[in-house]
Amino acid sequence: MTSTNPSPPWHRAAVTGGAGFIGSHLCERLLDSGVEVDCVDNLLSGSRENVAHLDGRPGFRFVECDVGAPRCPETLNGPYDLVLHFACCASPADYLRFPLETLDAGSTGTRALLTVAERDGARFLLASTSEVYGDPLVHPQREDYWGNVNPVGPRSVYDESKRFAEALVTAHVRARGADAGIVRLFNTYGPRMRAHDGRAVPTFVCQALAGEPLTVAGDGLQTRSLCYVDDTVDGVLAVAGSRSVRPVNIGGTDEVAVVDIARRVLELTGSASRIEFVGRPVDDPQRRRPDTGLARALLGWEPKVPWEEGIKQTIAHFAANRPSP
Contact 205, 315 (CB under 8 A): yes
Distance separating alpha carbons of residues 88 and 97, to the nearest angstrom: 13
Beta-carbon contacts of residue 240 (< 8 Å; ≥ 6 apart): 82, 84, 123, 125, 181
Contact 84, 236 (CB under 8 A): yes
Contact 125, 84 (CB under 8 A): yes
Catalytic residue among 80, 95, 133, 158: 158
145 is catalytic: no
Residues noted as catalytic: 158
